[in-house]
Amino acid sequence: MTFDCDLFVIGGGSGGVRAARMAAATGARVELAEESRMGGTCVIRGCVPKKLMVFASSFREMPAEARAYGWSIPDGTFDWGAFRSSLDAELDRLEGVYRRLLAGSGVTVHDQRARVADPHEVELADGRRISAKHILIAAGGRPERPDLPGAEVGLVSDDIFRMERLPASMLIVGGGFIACEMACILQGLGVQVTQFYRGAQILRGFDSEARGMVAEAMCGRGIDLHLGTTIETIGLPDQIAAGRGLPVEELRAAPVALLPASGPVAVRTVTGRNCQADAILFATGRRPNTAGLGLAEIGVKLGRKGEVLVDSYSQTAVPSIYAIGDVTDRVNLTPVAIREGMAFARTVFEGVPTPVDHDLIPAAVFTQPELGSIGLTEDDAREAEEIEVYATSFRPMRSAFAGVEDRVLMKLIVSAASRKVLGCHIVAPEAGEMIQLAAIAIKMGATKEDFDRTVAVHPTMAEELVTMRSPVRRG
């Protein structure tokens, strides 16, 4: 059978673009459709703009610290408009880079939505149909609002980067990566931040000791964090004060002008607590972006959240269709989507069957301070086998000299039997940079004695990873 192309990719994010380019490098005819901006969540409305906002927010405390070191620097003011102009220009530049990479690889790009019409055919929004030997779904995910009356008046993470002005106050609902990072960013930019999370502690899934330290640091920076808190009602302040519900039409109809002209929004929790803020951010989860793609109709199996179910080679129940990245809801991280795209291209177009390796993936949460993590948490490791825990918490030299009370945590989880380092957890400035290097050793199977044999770099925070000699806990 003759096809219009060898591969059609739906989605122009990091994973889809990498897969398209690698396939094209083998001589395959590749086409790609993206209904929004090239670069996807990471480049346009996720990792990249978020990290630039992290950098911007980190300067708030710099003048006071600099004065402690002898510099005469006055406190400054933050100009959201100036920053957003520079941010938009940088995102435009990066999108241009992605487009040039695709063009240079010979990939044909369609700037419109696409759906799967049958196992070997894609239908574009303009009605054209393109046949393909293989179809790759790399449509990513989207933020999800809670099932709560009036939730449509709140912002989601995509909206943060498009705000026309900073609110004076923000209520953030959620306790995961995005909620905690945005809380620290906005607080650092001068916004009064309140955070509600229904769980007992933020950052579920990370090491409990590290989670507690991050939560304590966030509170110390002025974030009003409330755990075990669930919203019952949203409304205008006078409605909430009177115990009434929400006529949504009295609030803004869409979130992005981007703050309510009608004044603050208020909420009431299930325990009767009232809270009001200029804006609400719902960071309560993300959902695979599979709605309307026509997948279930042709036999592709989907999970409970709409995720595409795939095998270890990213192949779906329909042999000609594959899926990678957040749309599969396996490990929702940009580098993982890129690795999955590379493995797909090697398997299908290079003839080298390459399963995706999801073991020992490092992660970083860009709170202030950052949290870097790889491997098992202390609780999970203890359930699996006998372990030793090596940990230390201290005020780093830079903070101590400046009279800042910030503390850092360095923690290793070690198998008592094999002596392998099962997990590493760091709470510190630049923890993301440190965990990347520690991850190499742990992925290679390093033992505690391998760490001990490594000479420390002094004076650094990270030297503690190779100088801890006695376990603080066993079990």
Evaluate if residue 257 carries a pLDDT over 70: no
Look at residue 239 in the predicted model and tell me its pLDDT: 73
Q: Which helix (H) or strand (E) holds 102?
A: helix 80-105
* 397 part of a folded domain: yes
Same domain for 336 and 367, yes or no, is: no
How many other β-carbons are positioned within 10 Å of the β-carbon of residue 37? Answer: 18
pLDDT tens digits, one per residue of 376-408: 999 999 999 999 999 999 999 999 999 999 999
Same domain for 86 and 185, yes or no, is: no
Contact 115, 293 (CB under 8 A): yes
Same domain for 164 and 201, yes or no, is: yes
Contact 156, 285 (CB under 8 A): no
Looking at the 3D structure of the chain, how many domains does it have?
Answer: 3
| Gyration radius of the chain's alpha carbons | 24
* 106 part of a folded domain: yes
* 356 part of a folded domain: no
The full DSSP string for 201-263 is SSSTTS-HHHHHHHHHHHHHTT-EEEES--EEEEE-HHHHHTT----GGGS-SSTTS-S-TT-
* 64 part of a folded domain: yes
CA-based torsion, 223, 226, 231, 233: positive or negative: negative
pLDDT tens digits, one per residue of 97-109: 999 999 999 999 9
Same domain for 319 and 404, yes or no, is: no
Predicted model pTM: 0.94
Separation between Cα atoms, residue 144 and residue 307, nearest integer Å: 14
Residue range(s) defining the domain that contains residue 307: 5-143+287-349
Evaluate if residue 253 carries a pLDDT over 50: no
Place of tokens 């957890």: 425
The domain boundary residue, chosen from 282, 316, 341? 282
Q: What percent of the chain has pLDDT over 70?
A: 96
Separation between Cα atoms, residue 116 and residue 297, nearest integer Å: 9
Angle in degrees, 0-180, between the axes of helices 177-188 and 208-220, rounded to the nearest 10: 20
Look at residue 263 in the predicted model and tell me its pLDDT: 61
Evaluate if residue 149 carries a pLDDT over 90: no
Which residue in the list 110, 120, 134, 458 is annotated as catalytic? 458
- 233 band by pLDDT with thresholds 50, 70 and 90: confident
* 354 part of a folded domain: no
CA-based torsion, 118, 124, 127, 132: positive or negative: negative
Q: Which two tokens stand for residue 248?
A: 């949504």
Q: Which two tokens stand for residue 350?
A: 């290079």
Separation between Cα atoms, residue 248 and residue 375, nearest integer Å: 45
How confident is the model over 228-239, as a mean pLDDT?
Answer: 86
Task: With CA atoms as reference, report the closest residue to 125 among 109, 140, 108, 110.
Answer: 110
Domain with 244 in it: what CATH number?
Answer: 3.50.50.60
Look at residue 125 in the predicted model and tell me its pLDDT: 98
The values of phi and psi at residue 430, to 5°, are 60, 30
Same domain for 133 and 31, yes or no, is: yes
Domain with 380 in it: what CATH number?
Answer: 3.30.390.30
Same domain for 300 and 230, yes or no, is: no
Q: Which two tokens stand for residue 224?
A: 């009003």
CA-based torsion, 243, 247, 249, 254: positive or negative: positive
* 355 part of a folded domain: no
Contacts of 346 (CB under 8 A, 6+ apart): 22, 352, 353, 354
How confident is the model over 29-48, as a mean pLDDT?
Answer: 96
pLDDT tens digits, one per residue of 46-72: 999 999 999 999 999 999 999 999 999
Residue 458 annotated to the active site = yes
